[in-house]
Amino acid sequence: VVGYALGENGGGGSSVTTTAEDDFGILDEILDVLREDFISPEAVDPEILKLGAINGILQALGDPHTVYIDPESYALGIDVISGTFEGIGAQVEQDPISGEIVIVTPFRDSPAEKAGIRPGDTILTVDGESTEGWSVAQAVRLIRGPEGTEVVLGIEHPDGTTKDVRITRNTITIPTVFTREIEDAAGNEVTEFAYIELQQFTDQAVRDLRDELRRVVDDGYQGVILDLRRNPGGSLEATVAVANLFIDEGIILTQVGRDGEETVSRAEAGG
């Protein structure tokens, strides 16, 4: 299929031309041509092509933070933020450029982490089925499953090595705050500072972190090491609330809209 005709159409194939005045109706024309003439008709899946077109439009904006989330993926994300689910215990996303399904982070002590899944891993297959062309919702739907059942993921690590990983699903409670004792370079226990790992920014995380900070004060620690390295993000409101736990006054965040209007979030004493 030729995207643009150069001169006369010299054969029996189809072509599509466009002008600056054409609107997005050209996409329907292209889809019609593909249905009629594409050499592999089984590859012409309107839903997959629609998703590809949407992602292509957004990629053309050059802003990696502007993405399309289909309704099913949105519902799955809300499910994760809200509580528990049955699965392997990892957060995944779709690479906006390659379309690959990528591990953002495995939850601590989850079946995924115990099986060796790492941040940045690409999921190539699920139970032997290629993930090429999948949406996040498709991947999550097949990776999740009842507690005690198994799923086999074909994984490519960031270093290029590949392996099949067999994981037994479990009931996953979304972790928010993790603490542990820490040691200095000489192996001595550090008693002046408390170590807290915040695994995501949610309303529950704010509550759990506030409780943990009260314990830190009660136990007489001099300070806190707050580890955000495995934190993939979350709610903006929760992020501001977390910052407010450490800041008594001043501006935490300034949002600037497309019209230049600013929305300022300020710290509140005792927050």
Residues of the chain below pLDDT 70: 1-22, 73, 75-83, 271
Predicted pLDDT at 20: 44
Predicted pLDDT at 151: 98
Q: 71-173: which CATH architecture?
A: Roll (2.30)
Q: How far is CA 128 from the centre of its chain?
A: 23
Predicted pLDDT at 22: 59
In whole angstroms, what is the distance from residue 100 CA to residue 51 CA?
Answer: 13
The 3-state secondary structure of 35-58 reads HHHCCCHHHCCHHHHHHHHHHHHH
Task: Give residue limits of the domains in the chain.
Answer: 71-173, 177-266
Predicted pLDDT at 103: 96
Predicted pLDDT at 212: 95
Predicted pLDDT at 105: 87
Predicted pLDDT at 64: 82
Predicted pLDDT at 18: 52
Q: Are strands 193-198 and 223-227 parallel, antiparallel or unpaired?
A: parallel
Predicted pLDDT at 101: 96
pTM value? 0.60
52 to each of 22, 67, 97, 115, 134, how far by Cα in Å? 20, 12, 10, 32, 10
CATH 2.60.40.10 fits 177-266, yes or no: no
Predicted pLDDT at 19: 53
